[in-house]
Amino acid sequence: DIQMTQSPSSLSASVGDRVTITCQASQDIANYLNWYQQKQGKAPKLLIYDAFNSETGVPSRFSGSGSGTDFTFTISSLQPEDIATYYCQHYDNLRVTFGPGTKVDLK
């Protein structure tokens, strides 16, 4: 089975900072990698699919990149409403695997 790891597990940043989260797969997963945002007490929300495609309505400050085993999720300028936990998710052949999550809060 493919394992997903994320780093860091948590981070603190200031409003306006550039925030970067990485997700690593245990083997080559091409671009089958998605990113979700989950705010406290809410259901997750899809932000990025297939590594770099933005879901409709997602602010342009959110972006994704990468392929193979290494992926990056970036918030170009952190806003107070971006405080949340972010998860990467891999999909293939009838299996879905989430990363452990990265909690982002304000410094």
Partner 1 sequence: EVQLVESGGDLVQPGRSLRLSCAASGFTFDDYAMHWVRQAPGKGLEWVAGISWNSGSIAYADSVKGRFTISRDNVRNSLYLQMNSLRAEDMAFYYCTKDYYSENFGWLDNWGQGTLVTVSS
The piece of 20-28, 39-47, 62-70, 71-79 that touches partner 1 (CB under 8 A) is 39-47
Q: How far is the CB of 20 from partner 1 (least distance, A)?
A: 20
Dist. CA 76–CA 50, nearest whole Å = 19
Q: Measuring CA to CA, which residue among 49, 53, 55, 52 is closest to residue 34?
A: 49
**Amino acid symbol at 101:** G
Cβ contact 38:99 at 8 Å: no
Q: Which of 62, 64, 101, 104 contacts partner 1 by CB under 8 A?
A: 101
Please report whether residue 37 would count as binding partner 1 according to CB under 8 A: no
Please report whether residue 46 would count as binding partner 1 according to CB under 8 A: yes
CA atoms within 13 A on the CB side of 81: 4
Chain residues in the site for partner 1 (CB under 8 A): 34, 36, 38, 43-46, 49-50, 55, 85, 87, 89, 91-101
